[in-house]
Structure 1
Amino acid sequence: MQVEIHTQRKHKVVGPKSKPRRSGQSKNEGLTEQLVFKAMNRLGYYDGGQAIIVEPKKSAKPQIQKLLTAASKRSGGTGPGYPDYIIRDESQEDVVVVIECKADITKHVSDSLDRYADYAVDGARLYADCISKAFDVLYIGVSGQTQEELTVSHYVKLRGEKDHKEILKGCGLQAFPTYLEQLKNQRFRVDYSALLEYVGGLNKQLHGKRIPEKQRAILFSGILLALEDATFRRSYRLHANSEDVLDTMIQQLSKILEKAASKSMDKFAGLRDEFSSIRRSPALIRDGYFKELVQEVEEHVYAFVKGNEYHDIVSRCYVEFLKYANDDGSLGIVLTPAHITQLMCDLAGVGKDSVVLDNCCGTGGFLVAAMGKMVAAANGDKDKIDRIKKQQLVGVEYQPHIFNLAVSNMIIHGDGKSNIFHEDCFKSTNLVKPFRPTVALLNPPFNDGSGIDELQFVGQALGCLEPNGIAIAIVPMSCAMYDSGQGLAVKQNLLKLHSLEASMSLPNQLFNDKGANTCALVFRAHVAHDPKKKTWFGYWREDGFVKSKRRREDSAGRWQAIREQWLDAFLNRTVVTGSSLLHSVTAEDEWLCEAYLETDYSTITQADFERDVMRFALYNLMLEIQSPGSSEALHDKA
């Protein structure tokens, strides 16, 4: 069998050889390998312009070869063994993909998953167990003799983890970037959970040292900011005591803020004072604690932030620190989940030329997500990326402690200018308009006691946008319901100047225990609403996330497919019974999908009908038990 191993140069690719199988002849594993080879060829694995290396049977990478010396399928892992294909990318040193083939689809996967020599998935699993001692592994079992019957199963085994997770169910072989993305997502989920566990423990530790909640967050961001400087990262370990480390950090933070503020330090004076106040915590420098703390944060948090650059991990850590003080909402921090900030960027069409505004930016979650989208779209253009970070991200935050956190967050994520203004957004128009924003993304304060309707924040953001700009706001559902009072007047004023393009009802527990049911409203700026033009409505109540411990997680890996479905429906204004529709509305109408949604009765089965009849009968019985005779009226009405 021959196959070209290294694919960085242009060359002729030769696949595995196999003789055609005559009728009645035994099944040939070589045919399966050939089908896999052809699929990989179509998917670009052998494109000379990529850094992908496809290796049959053995690997040129010594570390992989060494790990496979204990991967014999026949002896249960006591001797050498090699998968049919080993695939890796020179630019992604920590990941490996392996493929194991079997001719017979009845030998695809066993119930016990330990019949390594006989079944495709079982054999791939053994190789993954060995290689995952040093790499994140995506392993694939393939069986079948024809393209039509080819069966493919994908699993992930991460380095340092015991569990095997099946992914991409029902899919055939995929392009290598898809596998890299899957591995990245799985690794992020595991490492993110570990990070939050660490931060939760650190929170308790700092609480034990009587460090106030607000100061914990500023201390945390200060350490991360200081670690941005390579000189500090190298030098802090050399200091003899924690007091010297703390003094060096404060000095370094002043330099960072001075550079970020350009000509004036006034903008960041409050943040500078916050950092300086850390000195007044003697518990930090006792027994060498602060030096140890910096080292821990570098190991557990800083490395994670750098490896996941445009995920707003920092804000999530802030919320973890502030959760006890923030239980009553007094600190005003309600974090928009990262998967939603990223989705809103996609819905708004954020690209490299967008100028993004968040006039209620909190700790900067929307801006960090937008930065990631814009930098990716710049495709490595350094001048453009520099311009994005210096001129195309604008935030406004009124509360001083949250403003300080937002500034820290943006600088940590590489924003060299940090155009975050400490101001009342209703007085910030002259500060924001010169940037000529084209997109506004916001999650305004909910019932903050100021008497200001959430839609007034939306109107202010729309007023700052360029004509035809797009604003997407996450607001309580009450804002989209009929209101005959002040709310109606606000809605009328909005539609006189701007048009409602879409409304999407969001998942019930999007903000965990904060209780507010929300929707996302999409407006086009400075284009008066035409009541004859239909608005698109989406029923987006199920995002695949489930509550686990204290947070919602995509534990079943459903979000990616749901996201693609939502995005496609929104961009194409698709109408699907039970989930989306088009309807003309005015300020006097409901702006919620639920008000106009039709039930798709074609999906109801006999089993559904029988189940609901039984539930109704049990409900009536319960009423009868609780209050004899009370169910008679119900029966009469029914």
Structure 2
Amino acid sequence: MAESTTENLFREFYGAQTLLEKRDIPKKFGFQSKREGSTVDGFPDFFLDMGDWLIVVEAKSGEVGLKSDHSAAEAEVQMYMQANAVPHVDIVGIAVSGQTLESLRVTHFFRKGGSELIEELDKPRALVSLDTLTKHYLAAAHGDPLSDAELTRFLTQLNVRFHKDSRVRDTERSLFFSALMIALDDEPFRNMYGSVSEPEDERLVEARYLNEQIVAAVKRQLVKKVNSESKQIDWEDRFSFVKNVDIPLVEYKSIIDDIDERVHQPSKRTTKRDILGRAYKIFLSRAGKMDNKNIILTPDHIKTLMVDLVRLGKDDVVLDTCMGSGGFLMDAMEQLVDKAHGDETRIESIHETQLIGLELDPVLFALACSNMFLHGDGRSNLMFRDSLVTRDRTFTVKPADMKLQRYVKGLKPTKCVINPPYEHDNPVNFTMSAIEYLEEGGQLVIIMPVNTLSKDPKAAKTILERARLDFVIDMPQQLFFEQGRTVKTSIFGFTKTSNGHERDALVTFIDMEDDGHEVQVGHGRKDVGRWREISRLAKRAIRDGVESPDARSWRTAIFDDAGVLDARGIRRNPWPQAETHDLYEAVADWQEARAQRDVALDHMTRILNEAGIGGFDV
């Protein structure tokens, strides 16, 4: 009976008539019995012929037992993927177990036609609609239609076209790109942009009318949702620079066509999310402006790891108090939508009430809103304003900040994932504000300089009076290599609790100096095939609170017997230090020296200017 419960949950999710059940599966597919040595026909629990590929499903109760637990479902679905009469056809296998929709465990597998190799897919991790499953299949079978390499290559080429004759200012290119992406989502614009003509008045730029249509399309799409607690933002004014973009009309339309064909349309068929954040990083780095921003963008694999670490439940409300281009919230939105199992009412609730973001930088806020719009929305609680309600490294909330504090707390955030600015006291203040906003028992995962707590014991103790430190993951020195930053960071995990951090509580530390990524000339830091296992081991070590040489994790108190705090742990890393590459160290030294030189030069120039002498040309 327990297994039939799992099968019923699967039927209810996809609809009773969507997939064939074992009694109706045509024999021509030649599935064989799962009994060892048997040559008679056998059939998976569910089956669907998608035309170019097949879906096979095996369901188990999830109860403890060799024939009933999730591993049994995984083993049997893989057997059906191999033992059949269609070895030339692509097959997606789904192993599912559990007794309630909320507790279902789901694993997806892929076998390429003509191959015996079965690959376990990283995602999806839950039952998803057939449309979403098709996107994952296409990525597994044919490669991501919007691969990292292809996206980077196209955006780099696009940057050259924007840069030509100073057509678009370097600091406005990411917003310009987002405007074109949004306009391509606007049906009136799509229907007419090809027929837009030049103005008769030669004093106007050739693309004046097209520019106006782009701004109008953006306004139509983004003006629909503005949070009442946000500073007022005039979308037409925010994108007004577009009206002066001077690109020859024929080439302009060609650029829009290329964006539609190579990014906009593929983005509808891919699971990739923070496209505009990537564009922002590429455009600014190519212009040499990334170093000038008080912003460090989180690498994609770390972004996903951090969202995974808060272990989202279906009812969680996720907060990002310095959301940048919205990457954390989009990862969280995807996970929450997966957990909604196709329930449109719940998905609407996720978009409307379970995602909260604040951002002070106007360009990044516009990119975050654009990103959310392009990926299913979720803008209802995005706010353009300063998020700090605790300042000066204390939990004191000043009267001017109390209204915002009450508003955000009223949304009842239970999980917070952030990458704050690293300068000055920002990491401490953002940590305190996040804890202040969270519900009791809420979790904060934050990446910040490794010495944030240890360099300021007083502030650290204040934080630990309000929250328990659960884990610390030390990141590679070269994590932000592509942005020219060498700050050493760690991911800190806190749980808000009125008891604070108990003196004898153990913290899980993980040495992730080696994250399986290596610097590749011309490509930045790339996974060499080990990240999936590294992240899996780290998440398991934190979840189970275990020491593991494979995960390079250890457990230790952070208060000694006398009650003295050592935020780096009373017991130090017991594992041999990971090897580092000379290239990494050389690049790190060079970047650090360059940063110190730039700071010194700015300081010297300012002093000379104040003295009326003038600076140096270097």
Counterpart amino acid of residue 149 in structure 2: S
Counterpart amino acid of residue 467 in structure 1: E
* Corresponding residue of 2:221: 256
Counterpart CA distance in 2 for 1:41 and 1:323 is 61
Counterpart CA distance in 2 for 1:581 and 1:440 is 25
> Helix, strand or coil: the match of 1:379?
coil
Q: Are 1:344 and 1:472, in contact at CA under 8 Å, matched by a contact in 2?
A: yes
* Corresponding residue of 1:226: 183
* Corresponding residue of 1:532: 504
Instruction: Provide closer, same or farther for how the CA distance between residues 532 and 212 of structure 1 changes in structure 2, counting only shifts above 3 A.
Output: same
Shift in Å, 1:408: 1.9
Shift in Å, 1:434: 1.9
The normalised TM-score by structure 2 is 0.68
Q: Are 2:517 and 2:525, in contact at CA under 8 Å, matched by a contact in 1?
A: yes
Q: Are 2:25 and 2:47, in contact at CA under 8 Å, matched by a contact in 1?
A: no
Q: 1:407 aligns with which of 346, 349, 369?
A: 369
Unaligned runs of 5+ residues in structure 1 are 1-5, 18-29, 57-81, 93-135, 143-152, 155-166, 170-175, 609-638
Q: Are 2:556 and 2:569, in contact at CA under 8 Å, matched by a contact in 1?
A: no
- Matching of residues 358-377 of structure 1 within 5 Å: 358-377=320-339
Shift in Å, 1:319: 0.8
Counterpart amino acid of residue 163 in structure 2: H
Counterpart amino acid of residue 440 in structure 1: C
Instruction: Provide closer, same or farther for how the CA distance between residues 291 and 384 of structure 1 changes in structure 2, counting only shifts above 3 A.
Output: same
Q: Are 2:87 and 2:114, in contact at CA under 8 Å, matched by a contact in 1?
A: no
- Does residue 582 (structure 1) correspond to residue 594 (structure 2)? The answer is no
Q: 1:316 aligns with which of 270, 278, 286?
A: 278
- Does residue 184 (structure 1) correspond to residue 139 (structure 2)? The answer is yes
> Helix, strand or coil: the match of 2:445?
strand
- Does residue 204 (structure 1) correspond to residue 160 (structure 2)? The answer is yes
Counterpart CA distance in 2 for 1:526 and 1:41 is 59
> Helix, strand or coil: the match of 2:319?
strand
> Helix, strand or coil: the match of 1:315?
helix
Counterpart CA distance in 2 for 1:40 and 1:596 is 56
Q: 1:294 aligns with which of 225, 236, 256?
A: 256
Counterpart CA distance in 2 for 1:489 and 1:263 is 37
Instruction: Provide closer, same or farther for how the CA distance between residues 577 and 543 of structure 1 changes in structure 2, counting only shifts above 3 A.
Output: closer
* Corresponding residue of 1:149: none
Q: Are 2:135 and 2:270, in contact at CA under 8 Å, matched by a contact in 1?
A: no
Shift in Å, 1:393: 0.9
Q: Encode CA deviations 1:360-384: one digit per residue, 9 max, x unaligned.
A: 1111111111111111111111111
Q: Are 2:284 and 2:290, in contact at CA under 8 Å, matched by a contact in 1?
A: no
Counterpart CA distance in 1 for 2:521 and 2:262 is 21
Instruction: Provide closer, same or farther for how the CA distance between residues 189 and 567 of structure 1 changes in structure 2, counting only shifts above 3 A.
Output: farther
Counterpart amino acid of residue 10 in structure 1: K
Larger Rg: 1
Counterpart amino acid of residue 446 in structure 1: Y
Counterpart CA distance in 2 for 1:349 and 1:233 is 40
Q: Encode CA deviations 1:180-209: one digit per residue, 9 max, x unaligned.
A: 958625723972211110100111121113
Instruction: Provide closer, same or farther for how the CA distance between residues 49 and 139 of structure 1 changes in structure 2, counting only shifts above 3 A.
Output: closer
Q: 1:47 aligns with which of 16, 32, 45?
A: 45
* Corresponding residue of 1:505: 474
Instruction: Provide closer, same or farther for how the CA distance between residues 388 and 16 of structure 1 changes in structure 2, counting only shifts above 3 A.
Output: closer
Shift in Å, 1:38: 7.1
> Helix, strand or coil: the match of 1:188?
coil
Counterpart amino acid of residue 494 in structure 1: I
Counterpart CA distance in 2 for 1:214 and 1:343 is 30
- Does residue 383 (structure 1) correspond to residue 355 (structure 2)? The answer is no
Counterpart CA distance in 2 for 1:187 and 1:258 is 36
* Corresponding residue of 2:609: none
* Corresponding residue of 2:432: 459
- Matching of residues 230-629 of structure 1 within 5 Å: 230-241=187-198, 242-261=207-226, 267-269=232-234, 271-281=235-245, 283-284=246-247, 286-309=248-271, 311-325=273-287, 327=289, 329-427=291-389, 428-447=404-423, 451-480=424-453, 482-483=454-455, 487-512=456-481, 513-527=484-498, 528-552=500-524, 554-577=526-549, 579-586=552-559, 588-592=564-568, 596-599=572-575
Shift in Å, 1:347: 1.0
- Does residue 217 (structure 1) correspond to residue 174 (structure 2)? The answer is yes
Instruction: Provide closer, same or farther for how the CA distance between residues 9 and 453 of structure 1 changes in structure 2, counting only shifts above 3 A.
Output: closer
Counterpart amino acid of residue 238 in structure 1: S
Counterpart CA distance in 2 for 1:581 and 1:358 is 29
Shift in Å, 1:250: 1.3
Shift in Å, 1:257: 2.3
Bigger mean CA deviation after superposition, 44-53 or 239-248: 44-53
Instruction: Provide closer, same or farther for how the CA distance between residues 600 and 263 of structure 1 changes in structure 2, counting only shifts above 3 A.
Output: closer
Counterpart amino acid of residue 176 in structure 2: L
Q: Encode CA deviations 1:442-495: one digit per residue, 9 max, x unaligned.
A: 011012xxx324122111111100000000000111214x33xxx122101101
Counterpart CA distance in 1 for 2:571 and 2:266 is 44
Bigger mean CA deviation after superposition, 491-500 or 424-433: 424-433
Amino-acid identity (%): 24
Counterpart amino acid of residue 406 in structure 2: N
The normalised TM-score by structure 1 is 0.66
Q: Are 1:51 and 1:90, in contact at CA under 8 Å, matched by a contact in 2?
A: no
Bigger mean CA deviation after superposition, 229-238 or 382-391: 229-238
Q: 2:23 aligns with which of 11, 17, 36?
A: 11
> Helix, strand or coil: the match of 1:260?
coil
Instruction: Provide closer, same or farther for how the CA distance between residues 596 and 312 of structure 1 changes in structure 2, counting only shifts above 3 A.
Output: same
Higher relative contact order (CA 8 A, sep 6+): 2
- Matching of residues 22-171 of structure 1 within 5 Å: 46-51=44-49, 85-88=87-90, 138-139=112-113, 141-142=115-116, 153=117
Counterpart CA distance in 2 for 1:542 and 1:182 is 30
Shift in Å, 1:87: 3.0
Shift in Å, 1:505: 1.0
Counterpart amino acid of residue 325 in structure 2: T
Counterpart amino acid of residue 474 in structure 2: S
Shift in Å, 1:223: 0.9
Bigger mean CA deviation after superposition, 496-505 or 47-56: 47-56
> Helix, strand or coil: the match of 1:499?
strand
Counterpart CA distance in 1 for 2:91 and 2:528 is 27
Q: Encode CA deviations 1:75-121: one digit per residue, 9 max, x unaligned.
A: xxxxxxx99613346999xxxxxxxxxxxxxxxxxxxxxxxxxxxxx
Shift in Å, 1:295: 1.3
Counting matched residue pairs gives 478
Q: Are 1:225 and 1:253, in contact at CA under 8 Å, matched by a contact in 2?
A: yes
Counterpart amino acid of residue 139 in structure 2: K
Instruction: Provide closer, same or farther for how the CA distance between residues 207 and 457 of structure 1 changes in structure 2, counting only shifts above 3 A.
Output: same
Shift in Å, 1:595: 5.6
Counterpart amino acid of residue 349 in structure 1: R
Instruction: Provide closer, same or farther for how the CA distance between residues 140 and 515 of structure 1 changes in structure 2, counting only shifts above 3 A.
Output: farther
Unaligned runs of 5+ residues in structure 2 are 1-17, 55-83, 95-109, 122-129, 199-206, 390-403, 580-618
Counterpart CA distance in 2 for 1:91 and 1:238 is 47
Counterpart CA distance in 1 for 2:530 and 2:244 is 47
* Corresponding residue of 1:195: 151
Q: Are 1:398 and 1:424, in contact at CA under 8 Å, matched by a contact in 2?
A: yes
Counterpart CA distance in 2 for 1:267 and 1:537 is 43
Q: Encode CA deviations 1:612-637: one digit per residue, 9 max, x unaligned.
A: xxxxxxxxxxxxxxxxxxxxxxxxxx
Counterpart amino acid of residue 138 in structure 1: K
Shift in Å, 1:551: 4.5
Instruction: Provide closer, same or farther for how the CA distance between residues 187 and 432 of structure 1 changes in structure 2, counting only shifts above 3 A.
Output: same
